């Protein structure tokens, strides 16, 4: 696209913004993982945009400033609350496996799983991206500002440049060897004279991304899923030396974002809602809460060792079921109702010993479960490629959106200035175990199981109380669930809930976050029989709570997030 075309596009965007801006009724707030993204979202709200408009603008900026975590080459799940209609809508923008991808996608010639560190870099793990389709679908229903206006902050920042943050610079250092295999990545993220990763403070410009975003702004999803940009993605994926993939033009052209029913369940006097399959996040989080509802967590002390012991045990039980039963329910019959049944969760809660770790537990048998499903083959994964944002606009409409490229920098393929995902590694590498098909095996067109857990909490009168979520791989579920317990059981402000030390048990070892109050639980947990590990645990919680005194926001101090109030 020429400079003249870009100039006229900017003029059209400005005129459209002036014509469409409308006033809102009250204060608004945004919480995202990067100050630039928060500013872009706030700007859309100031122009009279909706929470959806603000979320899209933030995502486009995150593609630029936090490429290791999310972007238009990845996927997302989004919960949207339309306040005047008391309506909750969820949008599934999860990547899909190429139609030509088979169950043996991650098996070598001998039928053994390829190591994750090898499989996750290159074309093989790239799924059909869903972010643009999700954004378009959500905007068509709930956007206020013109589509092209939402891209202007990211386009301007990509052309003008931004200072590389400590987190981005550190991520580049960790991923430099794999990134250097990609020509566009070498040109974008490394110093030309020394080929060292860009240092903190370096003014990074990304004209290729500016051009890609301008095309999408002008042409809508067709600018992404069809035409030159689509061809470039397909070529990059299928010609990656040593680990090519299977993405096709047909895969891109036929991709659709899907509206799905939210999964909801009562917790104390509130109702908690999350995203249903293909993510396991909503169901597993609600299961943990449903099990813990049989205990008086609120009376056990804020973030106490006793309370967090119960949390680890409930997590063990929920993760055991997650591993067996949860996958893309367009392909697998997931027993949602059975997993959330109060009697079933009560029976699982009875297995907990308040004074002793139960060790590794077996999955239960909820009503409607198909016992032939087998546990996903255990593959050790380290995931940093996810982000979360929460927004409430001046009319009380709200967004909870978790967005991801899977591992840090996804596949490490850069096309058109953005990162392509590696989400297909979220499938089970082994399609069969003990003679039975694995629920989360690879199938063409299928969406890999996720742990993303965008969530909303509602008061007993049906009004919105809070919106929150987090990145963090399979630990996302526990990050979000612990934060929900913080704001409900302990009535903590959003930030204080996020600041509590992280404690995890995904039916394995118990992890305690180093340098926090959680580290102090070590001796007591050992006495209870826990096998513990103390280390760095980087959550990325972002959320907003509605209180009688106004909006209360939080941004996880473990990352670079920022909360911005609008209209106050």
The CATH number of the domain holding residue 368 is 3.60.20.40
Q: What mean pLDDT comes out for the span 148-164?
A: 98
Q: Decide if 63 is inside a domain.
A: yes
Q: Decide if 402 is inside a domain.
A: no
Tens of pLDDT along 239-267?
999 999 999 999 999 999 999 999 999 99
* Residue 97 in tokens: 């496996």
What confidence tier does 177 reach under pLDDT thresholds 50, 70, 90? very high
Q: What percent of the chain has pLDDT over 90?
A: 90
Find the range with the poorest average confidence among 9-23, 337-351, 363-377, 416-430.
9-23
Burial class (CB in 10 A: 0-12, 13-18, 19+), 181: middle
User: Distance between CA 336 and CA 106 in Å, rounded?
Assistant: 28
pLDDT at 25: 74
Tens of pLDDT along 488-505?
999 999 999 999 999 999
425 and 507 fall within a common domain: no
pLDDT at 24: 57
Mean pLDDT score of the chain: 93
User: Distance between CA 61 and CA 218 in Å, rounded?
Assistant: 17
Find the range with the poorest average confidence among 186-200, 328-342, 369-383, 529-543.
369-383
70 and 126 fall within a common domain: yes
- Which of 364-399 are b and which e, b meaning 16 or more Cβ less than 10 Å from the residue's Cβ? bebeebeeebbbbbebeeebbbbbbbbbbbbbbbbb
Task: Catalogue the E-assigned strands of 87-239.
Answer: 87-93, 162-163, 203-204
Please answer whether residues 452 and 77 qualify as being in contact, where contact means their C-beta atoms are separated by less than 8 angstroms.
Answer: yes
Catalytic amino acids?
386
Which residues is 128 bridged to in the sheet? 96
Q: Decide if 502 is inside a domain.
A: yes
429 and 461 fall within a common domain: no
pLDDT at 4: 40
138 and 282 fall within a common domain: no
Q: Decide if 145 is inside a domain.
A: yes
The dihedral through the CA atoms of 439, 90, 555, 520 has a sign that is negative
Phi/psi of residue 22, each to 5°?
A: -140, 155
Q: Is a pLDDT exceeding 80 seen at residue 3?
A: no
* Residue 429 in tokens: 């590498």
Closest alpha carbon to 31 in 45, 47, 17 = 45
281 and 248 fall within a common domain: no
Please state, as a whole number, how many other Cβ atoms lie within 10 Å of the Cβ of residue 8: 12
Say which residue the tokens 């996810």 belong to: 386
Q: Is a pLDDT exceeding 60 seen at residue 36?
A: yes
Please answer whether residues 568 and 516 qualify as being in contact, where contact means their C-beta atoms are separated by less than 8 angstroms.
Answer: no
> 3-class SS at 407?
coil
The helix (H) or strand (E) run that includes residue 168 is helix 166-179
Q: Decide if 147 is inside a domain.
A: yes
238 and 314 fall within a common domain: no
Q: Decide if 237 is inside a domain.
A: yes
Which structural domain, as residue segments, surrounds residue 426?
3-76+112-254+411-433
pLDDT at 436: 86
Say which residue the tokens 């869903």 belong to: 130
Q: Is a pLDDT exceeding 50 seen at residue 377?
A: no
Q: Decide if 277 is inside a domain.
A: yes
User: Distance between CA 524 and CA 55 in Å, rounded?
Assistant: 43
311 and 415 fall within a common domain: no
416 and 458 fall within a common domain: no
What confidence tier does 301 reach under pLDDT thresholds 50, 70, 90? confident
426 and 311 fall within a common domain: no
What confidence tier does 346 reach under pLDDT thresholds 50, 70, 90? very high
Say which residue the tokens 């993204």 belong to: 37
pLDDT at 385: 85
Closest alpha carbon to 268 in 242, 247, 295 = 295
143 and 199 fall within a common domain: yes
Write down the pTM of the prediction: 0.94
Number of domains into which the chain is organized? 2
Query: Can the peptide bond before residue 278 be classed as cis, meaning omega within 30 degrees of 0?
Result: yes
List, in order, residues 6 or more apart from 192 with CB less than 8 Å away: none
User: Distance between CA 64 and CA 70 in Å, rounded?
Assistant: 9
Q: What percent of the chain has pLDDT over 70?
A: 93
Please answer whether residues 561 and 31 qualify as being in contact, where contact means their C-beta atoms are separated by less than 8 angstroms.
Answer: yes
pLDDT at 435: 85
316 and 343 fall within a common domain: yes
Q: What mean pLDDT comes out for the span 96-118?
A: 96
Q: Is a pLDDT exceeding 80 seen at residue 5?
A: no
The dihedral through the CA atoms of 98, 103, 107, 108 has a sign that is negative
Q: Decide if 283 is inside a domain.
A: yes
Which residues is 229 bridged to in the sheet? none
271 and 371 fall within a common domain: yes
């Amino acid at each position: 696209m020429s400079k003249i075309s870009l100039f006229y596009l900017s003029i059209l965007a400005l005129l459209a913004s002036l014509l469409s801006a409308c006033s809102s009724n009250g204060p608004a707030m945004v919480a995202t993982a990067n100050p630039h993204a928060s500013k872009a979202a706030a700007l859309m709200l100031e122009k009279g945009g909706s929470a959806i408009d603000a979320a899209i603008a933030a995502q486009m900026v995150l593609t630029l400033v936090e490429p290791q975590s999310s972007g238009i080459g990845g996927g997302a799940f989004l919960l949207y609350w339309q306040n005047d209609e008391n309506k909750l809508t969820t949008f599934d923008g999860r990547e899909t496996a190429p139609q030509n991808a088979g169950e043996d996608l991650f098996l070598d010639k001998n039928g053994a799983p390829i190591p994750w560190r090898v499989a996750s870099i290159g074309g093989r793990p790239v799924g059909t991206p869903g972010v643009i389709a999700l954004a378009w679908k959500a905007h068509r229903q709930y956007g206020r500002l013109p589509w092209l206006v939402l891209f202007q902050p990211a386009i301007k920042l990509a052309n003008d440049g931004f200072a590389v943050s400590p987190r981005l610079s550190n991520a580049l250092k960790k991923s430099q060897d794999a990134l250097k295999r990609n020509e566009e990545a070498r040109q974008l993220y490394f110093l030309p004279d020394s080929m060292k990763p860009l240092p903190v403070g370096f003014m990074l410009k990304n004209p290729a991304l500016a051009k890609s975003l301008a095309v999408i702004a002008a042409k809508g999803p067709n600018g992404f899923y069809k035409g030159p940009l689509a061809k470039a993605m397909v070529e990059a994926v299928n010609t990656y030396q040593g680990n090519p993939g299977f993405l096709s033009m047909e895969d891109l052209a036929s991709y659709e974002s899907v509206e799905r029913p939210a999964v909801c369940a009562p917790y104390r006097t509130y109702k908690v809602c999350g995203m249903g399959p293909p993510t396991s996040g909503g169901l597993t989080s609600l299961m943990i809460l449903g099990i813990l509802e049989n205990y008086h967590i609120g009376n056990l002390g804020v973030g106490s060792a006793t309370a967090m012991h119960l949390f680890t045990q409930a997590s063990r039980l929920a993760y055991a079921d997650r591993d067996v039963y949860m996958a893309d329910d367009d392909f697998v019959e997931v027993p949602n109702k059975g997993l959330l049944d109060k009697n079933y969760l009560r029976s699982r809660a009875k297995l907990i010993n308040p004074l002793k770790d139960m060790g590794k537990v077996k999955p239960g048998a909820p009503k409607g479960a198909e016992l032939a499903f087998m546990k996903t083959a255990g593959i050790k994964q380290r995931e940093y490629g996810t982000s979360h944002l929460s927004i409430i606009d001046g009319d009380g409409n709200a967004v909870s959106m978790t967005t991801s490229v899977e591992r840090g920098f996804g596949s490490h393929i850069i096309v058109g200035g953005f990162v392509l995902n590696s989400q297909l590694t979220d499938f089970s590498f082994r399609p069969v175990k003990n003679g039975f098909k694995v629920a989360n095996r690879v199938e063409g067109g299928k969406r890999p199981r996720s742990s993303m857990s965008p969530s909303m909490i509602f008061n007993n009168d049906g009004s919105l109380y809070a919106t929150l979520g987090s990145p963090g791989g399979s630990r996302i579920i526990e990050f979000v669930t612990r934060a929900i317990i913080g704001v409900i059981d302990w009535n903590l402000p959003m930030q204080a809930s996020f600041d509590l030390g992280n404690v995890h048990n995904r039916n394995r070892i118990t992890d305690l976050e180093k340098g926090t109050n959680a580290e102090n639980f070590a001796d007591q947990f050992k006495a209870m029989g826990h096998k513990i590990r103390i280390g760095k645990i980087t959550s990325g919680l972002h959320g907003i709570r509605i209180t009688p005194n106004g909006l209360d926001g939080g941004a996880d101090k473990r990352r670079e997030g920022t909360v911005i109030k609008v209209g106050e």
